[in-house]
Amino acid sequence: MSIAFLFGLSAAFHFYVGARLVPALSGTLASTLLSLVLVASAVLMPLGLLAGRRRHGPIARTLGWLGLVLMGFFSSLWVLTVARDVLLLVLHLGGAAGADWPIERIGEVSAAAVPLVALFITAVGFANARRTAGVKTVEIPVADLPAAFHGFRIVQISDVHVGPTIRDRQVQGIVDAVNGLQADLVAITGDLVDGSVSDLTDHVAPLAQLASREGSFFVTGNHEYYSGVVPWLAELRRLGIRNLHNEHVVIERGGSRLVLAGVTDFTGGHFDESHRSDPHAALAGAPPDAAFKVLLAHQPRSAPAAASAGFDLQLSGHTHGGQFLPWNFLVRLQQPFTAGLHAVDELLVYVSRGTGYWGPPKRFGAPSEITLLKLVPTA
């Protein structure tokens, strides 16, 4: 995408919002203020994206921050403007506006409300995104679960997206929260980073402190392939985190065994044929008498193949739960599940809403999470 096209696209979207809202506002101050915000946003959004690719120096970081915050604000502003237009069209065609509230008055009030609501959503979403993710506890019922694995604790983090606005301080907060959960194992289900090893080495360093009885395990997400997957896998090994590349490990407790497997991202084969995701290969050679078989797979779309391979539980992320309204409704067009626990045949699928965020520092209606999954026997 060329720079000219990026700025042109930004200008076109902002022009639409300005043309629909500014003339409807009463008062010179309100219309002037909104016009200035739209002009600044139209310039800073693409400029911030371009600066964010480099991520060097305070000016680039500041522009990146401004661009991403404004992207979050404008996303809500644009959606609400479209919703306002639809409402006004319905009222006009249906003749629903009355003498007390003529269509012009409704248009004026709604034009003022749209940027205020967008600002409120953005402010709340910013606060939600920047806090350390809360712990969500999920019990996984398992038939005939051996006593040795009763209460087995898997802590899942996903979609941290260490990069332009998520840095070492946020990562340290996540690590501290995970270590307080006394996990049997830690599962990192992809999209850990957004940037190169050389840019982010210091910011992922706290991950070396992750503590659990069986260790930390990782599978690639699509963003690892954008960020240089081979150097990142080497860096994670250096940090003591094991990558499961279409393979498994066996965990033994009291004579019983649990299989933990992992696959590359659903789209990994598009970047490197040797990274094609294969749940069947991941389970090859696993003990047939294993009490439970868990698959780490970044995208929920891996579920049908995981069910076919014979897994009992799949842990995924990728969706962010939609991250903020209304995009959580659109996720369902690309993924079978958005968040929470679901079933595909005999397979349980848990989809994390993600521990960080991507792009705009904004979460609204889709809180981040560190997931504590406990294996419990069925009643």
- Per-residue pLDDT tens over the stretch 91-130: 888 776 666 678 888 889 999 999 999 999 999 999 999 9
Phi then psi dihedrals of residue 262, to 5 deg: -145, 150
Strand, helix or coil for residue 377: strand
pLDDT exceeds 70 at position 235: yes
Residue boundaries of the structural domains of the chain: 3-130, 134-377
Average pLDDT over residues 317-323: 95
| pTM (two decimals) | 0.93
| Euclidean distance between CA atoms 159 and 339, whole angstroms | 13
| Euclidean distance between CA atoms 310 and 328, whole angstroms | 30
23 secondary structure, DSSP code: G
Greatest Cα pair distance, the chain, in angstroms, is 79
Containing 257, the helix (H) or strand (E) segment is strand 256-262
| Euclidean distance between CA atoms 46 and 151, whole angstroms | 49
Q: Which of 44, 14, 73 is nearest to 52 (CA)?
A: 44
Which residues lie across from 347 on neighbouring strands? 344
- What pLDDT is stored for residue 325 in this prediction? 79
Residues 6+ apart with CB under 8 A from 66: 44, 48
In terms of C-beta density within 10 A (0-12 exposed, 13-18 middle, 19 or more buried), how is residue 355 classed?
buried
Of 99-113, 143-157, 261-275, 315-329, which gets the smallest average pLDDT? 99-113
- What pLDDT is stored for residue 362 in this prediction? 97
In 249-288, which positions are buried (b, 16+ CB within 10 angstroms) versus exposed (e)?
Answer: bebebeebbbbbbbbbbbbbeebeeebbbbbebbbeebee
Number of neighbouring beta carbons within 10 Å of residue 289: 7
| Euclidean distance between CA atoms 145 and 157, whole angstroms | 24
pLDDT exceeds 60 at position 208: yes
Average pLDDT over residues 215-224: 98
Q: How confident is the model at residue 37 (pLDDT cuts 50, 70, 90)?
A: very high
Q: How confident is the model at residue 77 (pLDDT cuts 50, 70, 90)?
A: very high
Quote the distance between the C-alpha of residue 74 and its chain's center.
Answer: 19
- Looking at every residue in the chain, the average pLDDT score rounds to 93
Give me the architecture of the 134-377 domain, per CATH: 4-Layer Sandwich (3.60)
Average pLDDT over residues 363-377: 96
* The dihedral formed by the CA atoms of 179, 248, 264 and 199, expressed in degrees to the nearest 10: 40
- What pLDDT is stored for residue 54 in this prediction? 56
Average pLDDT over residues 262-279: 97
> How much of the chain, in percent, has pLDDT values that exceed 70?
97
| Euclidean distance between CA atoms 330 and 178, whole angstroms | 30
Q: How confident is the model at residue 309 (pLDDT cuts 50, 70, 90)?
A: very high
- What pLDDT is stored for residue 1 in this prediction? 62
- Per-residue pLDDT tens over the stretch 151-207: 999 999 999 999 999 999 999 999 999 999 999 999 999 999 999 999 999 999 999
pLDDT exceeds 70 at position 297: yes
- What pLDDT is stored for residue 59 in this prediction? 82
pLDDT exceeds 80 at position 42: yes
| Euclidean distance between CA atoms 74 and 295, whole angstroms | 38
137 and 183 Cβ atoms separated by less than 8 Å: no
Q: How far apart are the first and last CA of the chain?
A: 56
73 and 41 Cβ atoms separated by less than 8 Å: yes
